[in-house]
Chain A
Amino acid sequence: MVTPNRSVRKLRDQARRRGDDVKGRLRLLAMSVRAHGRHGTPGEVVEEATNLDPIMDAAVARARRAMRPAGIDADYDLAYEHFDVMHFLLQARHLLSAGSVDPLQHFLDKGATAKASPEINFSMRAYLSRYPGKASGRGGSSPYVDWLKRGKDAGEIADPAPGLEKMAPVLGMQPEELVKALADTRSDLQERLRTGTLGAMFARATQIEPLIGDVWTETTRPIIPPLVSRNIVGQVVAMHACQQAAAFAGARLVLVASDPRWGGGRRMEGHIAHALTGRLEAHDIVVIYTDTGGTAPPGRFPAGVREINFASEVTGADRYATHRTLVELIRSFHADAVVNINSRVLYEAMTAYGPALAASERLFLMLFCNEQLAVGSWVGVPLRFFYRCFDTVQGVITDSAYLANWLLERHQLGPEQGSRIYVLHAPVDPHMPLVSPPTSDPSRRPQVFWAGRWDRQKRIDVALEVARRMPDLDFRMWGESVLTPGHVDESPDNVRLEGVYAHVSDLALSEADVWLYTSGWDGVPSQLLEVGMTGIPIVGSLVGGTGEVLGEDDSWPVADLEDPEAYVRAIRDVIADQTRARRRARALRERLLQERTAAEFADHVAGLLLRGAARKQGEEDAG
């Protein structure tokens, strides 16, 4: 939009180049538009009255008089046509008392480091952050001059609004359309503030409350919603992107998970989703990954469950902004229940927004186990966040009675409080076939299978030590190194490293004589539930909730998990009488089939999480 003042200014600038013969006429023209801000040539500057204080008007006129005449420097002359003296001086207020300083030359000399902007719709910082290569102007000129010469017409964006390109699609615009809308808005505001009614009202209020006058500087950078700050833009854009990923549809269940979680199998979140699909549609379930993005392995969720990569959408965002965004996203689904599955971001958000969130949402925490650090101390979600969130949430869910009881005892909870702690017994897959034992061959070396993450929890060191003590057996180990790659080099000759695997069923299970499990701490691991269904004898550490799978009568639990010899004895016991061992292992399968049915699990989950669902009598709540 070209304003009348700018037209006049351009005329005058052109005239400067033509010579003195037109100056007289221009002076008359200047007199006629003295109410409007414009530039003048040195020596004939007319002090223009604006809504700012007359002292400022005088300072602007003084600065204009200090500016160079035309025809000496083409770059200067080009910048002069666009340079807004009052706008610049309102920012560079130190120049107002610096005597006779040419503000444009001052700006140009600063080059890429100039902070004050030369006109309201140009920001050096915003321009150079988009085009870092422009920091060194051609021939040493200011990036602003380069932008005026070439960049502006080439569509290079120098608008000061934060996050402009990101916000444009949310507003249904192309970035260049948004640039124009913002520029028109700012220019119009600036014009009306300086010489229109808007500014007159500002000035009038300043007479009543002089402190208002100190805000004139801020008129050089008006805040124009929704482009308020990088954080706000990031929040709005992330919210829009996540809702778009969710197809702008509500949900009945929102699972907020830290990440797609390593390993195949359904895991608890998958079990919950599958259990409810008989009662609601798969698309009624949303999974939000908050800490690390990605997608779950195939099969974890029923087809149609929506997965939202929140973590990727908020990359680089301020943590408080991230918390708020997650809270608003969760609330926007208006779900029956929200389950936090190890989402650190949600736990942190709940410390600030927990009560507000709980005012509208039925929140549940899914807890598994704590973990031991390398120095021996214990940390973890149950330790850190249970007490922080317990009073706020609808309920706490554990995968083991062990953890539920631990929470009750540690926090000395009575029956009423304890009744909000629920144990979900993950179901087993009855379709998982019994695996045939290896053929009986005296010349064959027995094989011990081990699989899992190669991290501290899984106690690779113990598994390798067991292998060292049993050179007559072969140990086949699957899994990728997560935290402790060092152990790879420590494996003895009878250990075969098989690499990564997706699911237990992918392994050559018919070659396994024994399944070894050496975890140092745990809930009820999916792996034991899966292997338990195969009929392969399990020798496993008795920690956390593993005892709810491994019974003395149907497997070989090892109480002293630090003692490799205890595992060795148990494995020897299995190998010594494979027929008896298989019979015992099949008993485990039968027990799991009875104790962990999909139907009971589904009833329990539905009763707990779905609004209006009848709570099943006799469900096994810890309280």
Chain B
Amino acid sequence: MTTDLTVIVTAHNETAVCGPTMRAADLAVGAARARGFTVQTVIGLDAPLPVTLVYFQQPHFDHWERRVLDERDLGMVRNALVRGCDSRYVAFLDADDLFSENWLAEGVAALDAAAARGEHAIAHPELNVIFDGESAVLLNIDQGSPLFTPYYLYFRHYYDSLKMAPLEAHLEMPYVPRDVVNGLSYQDFHFTIESLASGWRHIAVKDTIIFKRRRDFSLVTESNTRKSVVRALPAMAIDRIRDLGSARRDLGSARR
């Protein structure tokens, strides 16, 4: 692998809202390159609306590779795009969110440091800042924090999907398909539980932020969200939950 990091922006129906997103992404990519990391930049367009396609075909995005897919499922899009990566790490960005300028550089550095310590790690920004339709500042809890309890994972995810993970993690634990009809969702939440059970260590990278835009919030959306759950996973069994997160993955070991 000659590339340190692949940054993947995914879009479906977004256009103008992506302006700040892409500007922030370019700055973060620039900062990572300035630190000496090689970065591949990809825009994944899943079943894009014509306007979205036109938007991202603008010349000023020519320094991004564009890939058009027809998965109609964010997890499946990410899986497909990850399979085409040849980098050590992968970071995702949704088309309406923003990175802090230092996220990519500090994320790669943190994962490298973890690897040097012999840890298989998955990195999360320290803060999730929710803006626009809602406002909130949410702290991402490092797995090693005294505030981490696996019982929380029955009800809430500790992290957002905009993480940075080794390519290996994504290849070993591809996102499961959404099953909206049956109320089985939260692909990234599922990924976190599976990875914890497999001994991956989730770390929060100090001084980094993702900014999550909330658009068109409604109570209906909230209500529907509340009725979805993660698939039942063996790691969440009553006799295993206490140990979730305590497993350590040996260097070079395959998952399970």
Could you tell me which A residues sit within 8 Å of B by CB distance? 170-173, 181-182, 185, 189, 192, 196-198, 201-202, 204-205, 208-209, 211-212, 214-215, 217-219, 221-228, 232, 235-236, 239-240, 243, 246, 248-250, 320, 324-325, 327-328, 331-334, 352-353, 355-356, 358-361
Enumerate chain A residues within 8 angstroms of B184, measured Cβ to Cβ. Answer: 356, 359
Counting CB contacts under 8 A, is B127 at the interface? yes
Counting CB contacts under 8 A, is B67 at the interface? no
- With the chains together, A173 CA to B228 CA distance in Å? 31
**Known interface pairs A185-B139, A225-B156, A331-B232; A352-B183 also in contact (CB < 8 Å):** yes
Report whether A223 and B24 are in contact in the complex, using a CB–CB cutoff of 8 Å: no
Could you tell me which B residues sit within 8 Å of A by CB distance? 20, 23-24, 27, 98, 100-102, 126-127, 129-132, 135-139, 141, 146-147, 149, 151-152, 154-156, 158, 179, 181-184, 206-209, 211, 213, 226-229, 231-232, 234, 236-239, 241-242
Report the minimum CB–CB distance from A546 to chain B (whole Å): 40
Report the minimum CB–CB distance from B214 to chain A (whole Å): 10
Report whether A208 and B232 are in contact in the complex, using a CB–CB cutoff of 8 Å: no
- With the chains together, A205 CA to B130 CA distance in Å? 13
**Nearest A-chain residue to B224, judged by Cβ:** A352
Enumerate chain A residues within 8 angstroms of B236, measured Cβ to Cβ. Answer: 328, 331-332
- With the chains together, A208 CA to B211 CA distance in Å? 11
**Nearest B-chain residue to A242, judged by Cβ:** B238
Q: Is the interface of B mostly helix, strand, loop or mixed?
A: mixed
Report the minimum CB–CB distance from A187 to chain B (whole Å): 13
Report whether B209 and A205 are in contact in the complex, using a CB–CB cutoff of 8 Å: yes
Interface centre among A225, A228, A328, A353 (most CB of B within 10 A): A225
Report the minimum CB–CB distance from B226 to chain A (whole Å): 6
Q: Is the interface of A mostly helix, strand, loop or mixed?
A: helix
Enumerate chain A residues within 8 angstroms of B98, measured Cβ to Cβ. Answer: 205, 208-209, 212
Interface centre among B179, B231, B239 (most CB of A within 10 A): B239
**Known interface pairs A212-B211, A248-B242; A235-B147 also in contact (CB < 8 Å):** no
Enumerate chain B residues within 8 angstroms of A185, measured Cβ to Cβ. Answer: 139, 147
Report whether B154 and A218 are in contact in the complex, using a CB–CB cutoff of 8 Å: no
**Nearest B-chain residue to A330, judged by Cβ:** B232
**Known interface pairs A201-B100, A201-B209, A204-B101; A328-B155 also in contact (CB < 8 Å):** yes
Report whether B127 and A198 are in contact in the complex, using a CB–CB cutoff of 8 Å: yes
Enumerate chain B residues within 8 angstroms of A246, measured Cβ to Cβ. Answer: 238
Report whether A334 and B237 are in contact in the complex, using a CB–CB cutoff of 8 Å: yes
Report whether A324 and B20 are in contact in the complex, using a CB–CB cutoff of 8 Å: no
Report the minimum CB–CB distance from B32 to chain A (whole Å): 14
Q: 19 A-B Cβ contacts within 8 A?
A: A197-B102, A201-B209, A208-B23, A208-B27, A209-B20, A215-B129, A215-B131, A218-B130, A218-B136, A218-B137, A223-B137, A223-B139, A224-B139, A226-B147, A249-B239, A325-B155, A334-B232, A355-B183, A359-B179
**Known interface pairs A215-B131, A243-B241, A333-B238; A359-B182 also in contact (CB < 8 Å):** yes
- With the chains together, A232 CA to B183 CA distance in Å? 20
- With the chains together, A215 CA to B232 CA distance in Å? 36
**Nearest A-chain residue to B155, judged by Cβ:** A235
- With the chains together, A209 CA to B23 CA distance in Å? 10
Enumerate chain A residues within 8 angstroms of B206, measured Cβ to Cβ. Answer: 198
- With the chains together, A232 CA to B213 CA distance in Å? 23
**Known interface pairs A208-B20, A215-B130, A324-B226; A356-B182 also in contact (CB < 8 Å):** yes
**Known interface pairs A185-B147, A198-B127; A250-B237 also in contact (CB < 8 Å):** yes
Report whether B129 and A202 are in contact in the complex, using a CB–CB cutoff of 8 Å: yes
Enumerate chain B residues within 8 angstroms of A239, measured Cβ to Cβ. Answer: 151, 154-155
- With the chains together, A215 CA to B132 CA distance in Å? 9
Report whether B155 and A232 are in contact in the complex, using a CB–CB cutoff of 8 Å: yes
Report whether A219 and B208 are in contact in the complex, using a CB–CB cutoff of 8 Å: no
Enumerate chain A residues within 8 angstroms of B226, measured Cβ to Cβ. Answer: 320, 324, 352
- With the chains together, A222 CA to B206 CA distance in Å? 15
Report whether A181 and B102 are in contact in the complex, using a CB–CB cutoff of 8 Å: no
**Nearest A-chain residue to B140, judged by Cβ:** A225
- With the chains together, A211 CA to B135 CA distance in Å? 10
